[in-house]
Amino acid sequence: MNYRHAYHAGNFADVVKHVVLTRLLDYLKQKDKAFRVVDTHAGIGRYDLSSLEAQKTGEWQGGIGRLIDASLDARAGALLAPYLEAVRSLNPGDGVKKYPGSPLLARHLLRKQDRLSAIELHPKDAARLKAEFAGDFQVRVMELDGWLALGAHLPPKEKRGLVLIDPPFEEEGEFGRLVEGLIRAHRRWPGGIYALWYPIKDRKAVIAFRKALKQSGIPKILDIEFEIRPASSEPSLDGSGMVVVNPPFTLEGELRTVLPALHKLLAVEKPAHWSLEWLAGE
Ligand code: SAM
């Protein structure tokens, strides 16, 4: 387990992932009924952008660094507000020095009836996450294998909510595990919303992943792709994707407003594309 998210926190891929996450949570909050967020690969929750790791890559400057003070049109601004407010809540002054990972973002958007299960396998990261949420009865942090949790922790007792699956992609076979994990989880809880992050780096692997999802028999799969440059000759993170299963009916329209605004800010080299595609319908 060598992957350290501190090198990448707040980069373009985090921004897109976290914007989608906040749109999903904003939708869940429209009904009073309680929901649960299950974050299977949670990380440490709070990232210091002045740390050696963050400074070494400077990736956040091409992500949240470009967005935080950008002028946005009114519709995109309104849809991005829950995300930007969560980021600003950690940065009371000017600029951005701290960045909230997925569990902190989710926690920021929970109401008193909602719950978060945050799962992290790396012992040090899990300890930091436990310290972050110490005494918070709405959050349960578990040092566990997130893939196992997909079996054991679903469906949640609330029977309403979202599962975020955001593995590090440091080992071979992660795309396969993602498809298998989703199929297993969906069998246990077909009504849950699932959000799966993936890198656009190895294009053949992405094509195979999308094909496997199409053949999975799971209905209502929306695929979001966001590239910041055309395919590089050397393997590099040219873009990122999010697969959302059972997306709220509002999500596609919202993303058609938000993604072009983000793309304008975050794309570094043309032609770079973003797209929304249904891999499976009703
Ligand atoms: N979801 C986080 C966010 O958006 O802020 C970032 C997560 S990072 C991409 C992936 C995390 O998964 C790392 O913190 C890593 O230690 C953890 N991890 C790796 N393998 C795991 C496993 N099998 N189960 C749970 N966590 C795992």
Structural domain spans, the chain? 5-280
Ligand 1 centroid distance, CA of 166 (Å): 6
Ligand 1, pocket residues at CB < 6 Å: 1, 3, 5, 17, 41-43, 101-102, 119-122, 125, 145-147, 166, 168
Residues designated as active site: 166
Q: Nearest 5 degrees, angle CA 17-CA 232-CA 200?
A: 25
Residue 95 pLDDT exceeds 90: no
Query: Could you tell me the two tokens for 8?
Result: 């990448």
Amino acid at site 51: S
For the CA of 104, the nearest atom of ligand 1: 5
The answer on whether 62 is annotated among ligand-binding residues is no
Per-residue pLDDT of 157-205, as tens digits, reads 999 999 999 999 998 999 999 999 999 999 999 999 999 999 999 999 9
CATH top class, domain 5-280: alpha beta
Average pLDDT estimate for 34-48: 98
pTM of the model: 0.98
Task: Please report the pLDDT score of residue 234 as a whole number.
Answer: 86
Cβ distance 141 to 173 under 8 Å? no
3-state secondary structure of 137: coil
Residue 232 pLDDT exceeds 90: no
Average pLDDT estimate for 128-142: 98
Cβ distance 16 to 240 under 8 Å? yes
Residue 135 pLDDT exceeds 90: yes
Task: Please report the pLDDT score of residue 73 as a whole number.
Answer: 94
Number of residues that make up the chain: 282
Ligand 1 centroid distance, CA of 126 (Å): 10
Residue 250 pLDDT exceeds 80: yes
Average pLDDT in the chain? 96
